[in-house]
Amino acid sequence: MPPLVPDAEYTGVFLRAEHGRFERRARWFLWFAISTPGPHLKAELYLSCPCPEGKGSFGLGSKLVAAYAVATGAMPRRRDRITKAVFRNKLFRFRTRTVIKDKDGHVRPAADHYSVIDRLLAVEAGKVTR
């Protein structure tokens, strides 16, 4: 389970992309390590990006398309084949949020709260390439 950090804006580097299922839906998990100096330095958080079912393409409003646009400065040419390589070797600014409810909308016990990346905001360092 990811750590709990205060909801704020942080900078962080991309670590890896993992494909998996969460709440019965296919998702890409983009993992980042916080690089903002402080008590949460090197804490690893993820951005969860739902995937289209079947062989569809990502919608224009999907989280992965929005993250890709931040990383490259442009929309992807093909939304059915989005490479995660565009996130490598870059420092991003992102906003976090605390997960306090379970999949059924019930409030989790305080010990089960954790943080996730809500969205990528900007590339802070690294070459923005297409």
**Going edge to edge, which strands form the sheet with 44-50?**
44-50, 25-34, 9-22, 91-99, 114-125
Residues 32-91 have pLDDT tens digits of 999 999 999 999 999 998 887 766 777 677 898 899 999 999 888 877 778 888 999 999
What is d(CA 121, CA 130) in angstroms, rounded to the nearest whole number? 18
Return the percentage of the chain with pLDDT > 90, whole number.
61
Half-sphere exposure of 115 (CA within 13 A, CB side): 22
Q: Which residue has the higher pLDDT, 53 or 116?
A: 116
What is d(CA 65, CA 48) in angstroms, rounded to the nearest whole number? 12
Q: Token digits for 91?
A: 């420092």
